[in-house]
Amino acid sequence: RPRPQFHGDGRVYLGMELEINTSGSFNSTSSLAYVAHNALGGLGYLKEDSSVSGFELVTHPMTHAYAAESFPWPLLEELAEYGCRGDDGLHVHVNRDAFDSPSHIFRWLRFIYRNRQAITLLSRRHRDDLNEWASFTNYSSELPFCKQHAKGSRDGARYSAVNVQNAATFEVRVFRASLQRQSVMAALDLVAGSVEYTRSLTVPSILKGGWTWDGFIKW
């Protein structure tokens, strides 16, 4: 695993882990990994994953704008044409330094967990699959959970909607993998957008529906 290389200018950096299934044979997986590695250049690297019959594509941290403009999006279509599938997980990391304060972290976590229905729909996962790998239901109440982890605790279940165990990032695990640009970009949109949206939430705006999905959509 190489040292992180940051791409783009900004405060919010996103790192993507996209699990890609190949036909499963060594020769085809090796050849497709070569294609992916060449297309990524210095923007990412590949990992083995025991849960995937292929490989995991991992990007270095990048801003939302950099991802939209400079990620090799045609690679996804090329892999799909070779018979690859995005059936498993798409995980999006966001740097902890992106947040202004513990209260900002609290507002963001609370927004994610309060809007589980809309986010589940956007994740494109079946509910049972989501509960196994990125559960919204590991915690009986999101309020104590959000308070605890806003203060810096990393004591939480990995297979949660937001994995809080990493020292430098929060990992949003809810999304199903895809080889379609629109679906992958939507995951990055949601993470980056929710961080910025909750940055400016005030108590009066929350009382007027700021924590709701409708409030986010209007913003």
Model pLDDT for residues 153-189, shown as the tens digit of each residue: 888 777 788 999 999 999 999 999 999 999 999 999 9
Residues 6+ apart with CB under 8 A from 79: 20, 32, 35, 36, 179
Q: Is the dihedral of CA 151, 152, 156, 162 positive or negative?
A: positive
How many C-beta neighbours within 10 Å does residue 6 have?
14
Gap between the Cα atoms of 163 and 149, Å rounded: 10
What are residue 19's DSSP bridge partners?
56
pLDDT digits (tens, 9 = 90+) for 194-212: 999 999 899 999 999 899 9
Strand-pairing partners, residue 170, are 94
Mean of the per-residue pLDDT values for the chain? 90
Helix, coil or strand: residue 64? helix
Measured distance CA(53)–CA(98) in Å, rounded: 34
pLDDT digits (tens, 9 = 90+) for 72-115: 999 999 999 998 998 889 999 999 999 999 999 999 999 999 99
Rounded Cα distance between 92 and 94, Å, is 7
C-alpha dihedral sign at 123, 61, 147, 165 = positive
Where does the pLDDT of residue 26 fall: very low under 50, low under 70, confident under 90, or very high at 90 and above? low
Highest mean pLDDT among 27-31, 113-117, 147-151, 190-194: 190-194
Strands (E), 54-200: 54-59, 89-95, 162-163, 169-176
For the entire predicted model, the pTM comes to 0.91
